Amino acid sequence: MAVRKVVKFGEDILRKKSKPVKHFDEDLWQLLDDMKETMYKNDGIGLAGIQVGVLRRVVVIDVNGLSAELINPKIIMSEGEEIEEEGCLSVGKFSGRVARPYKVTVEAQDRYGYPFTITGEKLLARCLCHEIDHLDGILFVDKSLDKDKFFKSVR
């Protein structure tokens, strides 16, 4: 296992769309292990492959002790809305309010390719949505109610 470098805001790759994972092999497992180590090292609660420079639809999370690896994740149900502060390891110190679903169900595959679903509320739902956005090149600052403040600060 190894801690990988986290891609920061401003690097073009963060805006790219990640491709589906087709091979559930040792390269994937190594990536997942490294992503978890990188997430824990940086005190994060979620990390997407793109954040370590890998354009594959891969996410790891650890929210309140619930850890999961999600390959090719897709939101299949969402309900409600909640506005809370959010941050991102790729964005740095800035945090801002984002409206997210209160509850989501996500369909994904595990590291061996077996399908499963995960349902989460509040912070877990927020984390799942945030990470899945990364796979489509979307950052929380794009959706933040405080985005003017952020984009002014980086201009």
**In Å, what is the CA distance from 1 to each residue of 35, 47, 51, 59?**
9, 16, 17, 17
The nearer residue to Ni ion, 24 or 146, going by C-beta atoms, is 146
Rounded to a whole number of angstroms, the minimum distance from the CB of residue 89 to Ni ion is: 6
The nearer residue to Ni ion, 49 or 71, going by C-beta atoms, is 49
Annotation marks residue 131 as catalytic: yes
Instruction: Give me the residues that bind Ni ion (CB under 5 A), please.
Output: 88
* Residue 60: closest CA among 18, 32, 94, 88: 32
Rounded to a whole number of angstroms, the minimum distance from the CB of residue 23 to Ni ion is: 25
The nearer residue to Ni ion, 79 or 142, going by C-beta atoms, is 142
Instruction: Quote the CA–CA distance of 75 and 117 in Å, as a whole number.
Output: 9
Residue type, 50: I
In the bound state, the residue with its beta carbon closest to Ni ion is 88
- Residues classed as catalytic: 131
